[in-house]
Homo-oligomer: A and B are copies of this chain.
Amino acid sequence: MSDVARLAGVSIKTVSRVVNNEPSVHTETAAKVLAAIERLGFRRNLGARNLRRGSSSGIIGLVLEDVANPFYSGLTRAVEEIARATGRHVLTGSSDEDQDRERELTLEFCARRVDGLIMIPAGERHGYLVPEMQAGTPVVFVDRPAGDIVADTVLVDNIGGAAAAVTHLAAHGHRKIGFLGDAEEIFTARERLRGFREGCGNAGIPFDPRLVAMGPHTQEGITAIVREFVLGPTGATALVSGNNRITVNVVRAIAGLPRRPALVGFDDFELADLLDPPVTVVAHDADALGSAAANLLMARLDGDTSAPKRQTLPVRLVPRGSGETPPP
Contacts and interface: CB of A to CB of B under 8 A. Distances in A.
A77 B90 contact: no
Contacts of A94: 77, 80
Contact of A113 (B45, B68, B91, B112): B45
Interface string A39-71: 011011111101100000101000000111110
A272 to B, nearest CB: 9
A46 to B, nearest CB: 5
Given A108-B89, A252-B274, A275-B271, A67 B80 contact: yes
A134 B43 CA distance: 12
Nearest to A77: B68
A119 to B, nearest CB: 15
A152 to B, nearest CB: 20
A73 interface: yes
Nearest to A45: B113
**Copies of this chain per assembly:** 2
A77 B70 contact: no
B110 A43 contact: yes
A47 B274 contact: no
Nearest to A128: B41
Interface in A311-325: none
Nearest to A255: B274
Interface residues of A, number: 53
A41 B275 contact: no
A67 B57 contact: no
Contacts of A44: 111
Given A47-B112, A68-B77, A255-B274, A135 B41 contact: yes
A303 interface: no
Contacts of A89: 91, 93, 105, 108-109, 112
30 contacts: A41-B131, A41-B134, A43-B111, A44-B111, A45-B111, A45-B113, A46-B111, A46-B112, A47-B51, A47-B57, A59-B91, A67-B67, A68-B70, A72-B73, A73-B76, A76-B92, A80-B92, A89-B91, A89-B93, A89-B105, A89-B109, A89-B112, A248-B271, A251-B271, A251-B274, A269-B271, A270-B270, A271-B271, A271-B275, A276-B276
